[in-house]
Amino acid sequence: MTTIDRIAHPVMRPARVVAAYVEEARAECLRYLRNPGFLLPTLLFPSVFYLMFGVFLGHANGPDAPKYLLASYGTFGVMAPGLFGFGVSLALERDTGLLTLKRALPMPPGAYLLGKMCMALLVVAIVAIIMLCLALFLGGVHLPPSRIATFFVLEVLGVLPFAALGLFIATLVKGQGAPGVVNLVYLPMAFLSGLWFPLSIMPGFLQAIAPLWPAYHLNRLALGAVGLGDGVVWTHVAALAGYTVAFVLIAARRLRRHG
């Protein structure tokens, strides 16, 4: 490579590349942790719902109700950081030109999205810890350490398909319309996936379309993690992986075309 090529195409040393990724992730996590408008609803909605229906009213619906609702509301808590953290914020940042500015900065191309992903993983980890503490110390749920660890890891990694879906939504809508569109996906998906009411009491056609939603598959895995599953694992894992890859590929293509 000639001197002119090196000036035109500067190459960052590996240590600086790693530092750029770390710094972007740190900045993104701090930005959202300091934003109560995002953080408080994300943390409070699933925990308050579980406190009301899983702790105070849980045992009235059967001995396994607190455990069942831990899985359901845990899945509900996983959805928001991915959908809102990507779907709303990325749409707003596209409109304001921040995404264009990020692309112009001397930073690795993937650092921006990786930073948002680290933010979503961190928030979901906090949600999972809160839910587990409520279930174990207030809800009377008894789980061995292996199941506690499995549930926690599942919840943290479960944000990936919802982050991918949020990324896809952000490529379709403007910033001002993003919150409404995300809510139109977020709340119906939670209902139709059986997170608020068992699918067994829903009409047959709703039960039939439930597997179309990623929340359904994550909820089935969460039920298995707490000991209430049907034994099917890899089908749900494959479905979630397929959703994640498909949404990321489509969103990446749209971002390359439309910015």
pLDDT interval class at 135 (50, 70, 90): very high
**Domain locations in the chain?**
3-258
pLDDT average, residue stretch 244-252 = 92
Q: What is the percent of the chain with per-residue pLDDT over 70, rounded to a whole number?
A: 93
First to last CA, the chain: 31
Please give the full DSSP string across 145-158, using - where no structure is assigned. Answer: HHHHHHHHHHHHHT
**pLDDT tens digits for range 160-190:** 999 999 999 998 988 888 899 999 999 999 9
User: What's the confidence (pLDDT) of residue 230?
Assistant: 81
Q: What is the mean pLDDT of the chain?
A: 87
Comparing 103 with 236, the larger pLDDT belongs to 236
Exposed/middle/buried for 189, CB within 10 Å: 0-12, 13-18, 19+?
A: buried
**pLDDT tens digits for range 195-237:** 988 888 888 898 999 999 999 999 999 999 999 988 789 999 9
Q: Which of 24, 1, 29, 7 is nearest to 105 (CA)?
A: 24
Place of tokens 């971002």: 255
Residue type, 234: W
